[in-house]
Amino acid sequence: MEYIPHTPEDIRRMLRTIGVPSVEDLFRDIPEEIRRGYRPLGLPGSSEPEVRRRFQELSRRNRALVPFLGGGLYDHYIPAVVDEIAGRSEFYTAYTPYQAEVSQGTLTWMFEYQTMICELTGMDVANASMYDGATALAEAVLMARRIVGGDRVLVPRSLNPFHREVLATYAHGAGIELVEVPFGDDGRLVLEDVPEGTIALVVQQPNGLGIIEDLSGLKERLGKAFLIVSVYPIALGILEPPGSFGADIVVGEGQPLGNPLSFGGPLLGIFATRKEYLRMMPGRVSGRTVDVEGREGYVMTLQTREQHIRRERATSNICTNSALCALRATVYLASLGPEGLRQVALLCLERAHDLAEAIQEIPGFELALRGPFFNEFAVRCPDPEGTVRRLQRHGFAVAPPEFVERMGVQDAFSVAVTEKRTPEEIEAFVQALRGD
C-alpha cells in the first residue's frame, strides 16, 4: 500500500539478511495462543479517493451554526498566514526538539511564544504549552501544592464548568478538596475567608459568566496561598494582566489565538509563572544559549524537571504537548502586533455591547448579571430553552441554559460575540430573538 514501500523483493532480501525463512517467523516470539486469538476488524482497505469521499460525507452531515457561543472556546478570525506557516511540513512533521542542532526552527518559535505569553500575562516565565486550559489549571494547582502544601483549593462558582470538572478529577486523584467561592449580583467573586490549608485561590478572568473580575487586593489576602488566574488571552489585549496583581501562576485556554474551534480539540494550554518558581513549573521550555562557535541558538533546557529524567519525582508526567497549536498562536500574535491585538479585543467588546444593548430592548429579556463584561454575558428570559432552540432554527448557536445553570445562574443562556460577528449577523440574531 502507498505508505509502505516494501516490494516482495525487498521483503525477500530483508528476510535473507535477517536469516529467517518467512515473515511469520518474525512473530514467533508472540505466544501462539495470543496470535490465534486475533480477530480482524472486518474492514477492507480503501483508496485515497474513497477515503476522501467518506470524509466529505461525514463533513456534510455537520452544520456549522454561527457561533454566538463561548463557553471557553471562541470563534476568532485566523489570518491566512497562520495556516500557511503551520502547514509547512518542516514544522508539523518535526519531532520534539531534543536534537537542537536540527531543530532550531521549532526551538526559536518556542522561545518567541514563551516571550509573547509572558508579555500578555505579565509573568516572568512561560512553558511551551500544556494540552489545554483545563488541564493547565489542574497542573497549576498541583504545582502550587508542591510549593506551599495544603489540601484545599478555593474555586469560584463562576469558573467555567468544564474546567471545574477536569480540576475536580485531578484534585480527587491528589487528595485535594475543592471549596466554592460565591459571586455577588454583579457576577464578581466574593472572597470571604481563606481557611487553613488553602493551597490557592483560583480566579478566572473574565470568569465563566463573562464578567471582568477585580484582581486587585486578592493576593494580599491569601497569606502564603497562591493566586492562580485563568485567562482568556484575547481579553488581555485590553485588560491589565494578572502579573500586575501578584498572580503566582497564570493559565488559560489559548485556542482563541490562531486556532479554530476544532470541535474541542486540539486546544492550547497556557502556563506561566514567576521566576522564583521556574524549577517547579511543568512542561518543556526553550532556552537561549550559544554554540561552540559562539553563535546564538536555542535548546530545550531545565529538562531535569521532566519525566524522562525525574520519573516519579517529575514536576508532571507531561511529554507530548500542544506544540503546533502554540506555533499557530505565535504566528497569530506576531501577525497582529500589539495594536492589532488591542483592535481585535476592542471589536469584541464593541460588538458584544452592541448586542447586549439591543437584547435589553426586547421585552422580557435582560442581562442576568450587572457586572462589567468583555465579550460574553448571560441573558435571562422567560423561556431560555425555547429561545435557544429558536436561535438554532435560525442558524445561531449559544451556550445552552445548563451551562450557566451549573455556575448558579437560572433561567438564562450565555452569549459570546467576537470580531467575526458582523453587524448583519448581530441584527439577524436580534430578530431571531424577538421571534419575528
Partner 1 sequence: MVPKELLYTKSHEWVKREDGTVRVGITDYAQKKLGDVVYVEFPQVGTKVKKGEAVVTVESVKAAESVYAPVSGEVVEVNEALSSSPGTVNRDPYGEGWLFVLKMDDPAELEELLGPEEYASIAGEG
Partner 2 sequence: MATIYSKGKAGRKATSWPRLRRSLDELLGYIPEGMRRRELPRLPQVSQGELVRHYTALSRMNYGVDTGFYPLGSCTMKYNPKLHEIIARDPGFTELHPLFPEEAVQGILEALWQLGEFLKGIAGMPGITLQPAAGAHGELTGMLLIKRYFEDRGELGKRTVILLPDSAHGTNPASAAMAGFRVVPVPSNEEGTVDLKALEERLGEDVAGIMLTVPNTLGIFERDILTITRMVHEVGGLCYFDGANLNAFLGRARPGDMGADIFHFNLHKTFSTPHGGGGPGAGPLAVSESLIPYLPVPQIVREGDRFTLSYDLPKSIGKVHPFLGNALVMLKALAYILTLGDEGLREVSTGAVLAANYLRVRLREAYRIPYDGLCKHEFVASTKGLGVKALDVAKRLIDYGFHPPTIYFPLIVEEALMIEPTETETVETLDAFAEAMLRIAKEARESPELLHAAPHDTPVRRLDEVRAAREPILREPWTSQG
Residues 260-279 that bind partner 1 (CB under 8 A): 279
Question: Per CB under 8 A, does 312 bind partner 1?
Answer: no
Handedness of CA 367, 368, 371, 375 (dihedral sign): negative
Pick the piece of the chain touching partner 1 (CB under 8 A) from 106-114, 203-211, 303-311, 388-396: 303-311
Q: Any residues with CB less than 8 A from the CB of 428 and at least 6 apart, and which?
A: 394, 396
Q: Which of 149, 173, 223, 408 binds partner 2 (CB under 8 A)?
A: 173
Region 201-260 residues binding partner 2, contact defined as CB under 8 A: 212, 214-216, 236-241, 243-244, 253, 260
- Bridge partner residues of 67 (DSSP): 397
CA 137 to chain centre: 10
CA proximity to 174, closest of 204, 144, 194, 202: 144
Q: Which is nearer to partner 1, 180 or 276 (CB)?
A: 276
Distance CA 398, CA 405 (A): 14
Please report whether residue 172 would count as binding partner 2 according to CB under 8 A: yes
Which does residue 64 touch among partner 2, partner 1, none (CB within 5 to 8 A, set by kind)?
partner 2
* Residue 141: how many other CB atoms lie within 10 Å: 25
Whether 228 and 138 have beta carbons less than 8 Å apart is answered as: no
Q: Does 193 bind partner 2 (CB under 8 A)?
A: no
Q: Which option in partner 1, partner 2, none does residue 216 bind, with CB closer than 5 to 8 A by kind? A: partner 2
393 binds partner 1 (CB under 8 A): no
Nearest alpha-carbon partner for 407 in 232, 250, 207: 207
Reduced to 3 states (helix: H, G, I; strand: E, B; else coil), residue 18 is helix
The angle at the Cα of 73, spanning 392 to 363, to the nearest 5 degrees, equals 40
131: CB partners within 8 A, 6+ apart: 266, 267, 269, 318, 321, 322
Q: Does 400 bind partner 2 (CB under 8 A)?
A: yes
64 binds partner 2 (CB under 8 A): yes
435 binds, among partner 2, partner 1, none (CB under 5 to 8 A by kind): none
Task: Work out what residue 363 binds among partner 2, partner 1, none; the CB cut-off runs from 5 to 8 Å by kind.
Answer: none
Choice from 99, 115, 262, 304 touching partner 1 (CB under 8 A): 304
Q: Return d(Cα 194, Cα 219) in angstroms, integer.
A: 11
> Least separation, in Å, of the C-beta of 187 and partner 2?
13
Q: Which of 141, 415, 419, 426 binds partner 2 (CB under 8 A)?
A: 419
- Of the ranges 93-101, 177-185, 191-199, 424-432, which one interacts with partner 2 (CB under 8 A)? 93-101
If binding is defined by CB under 8 A, does position 96 make contact with partner 1? no
Whether the CB-CB separation of 426 and 375 falls below 8 Å is answered with no
Q: Give contact residues for partner 1 (rule: CB under 8 A).
A: 279, 303-304, 309-310, 313
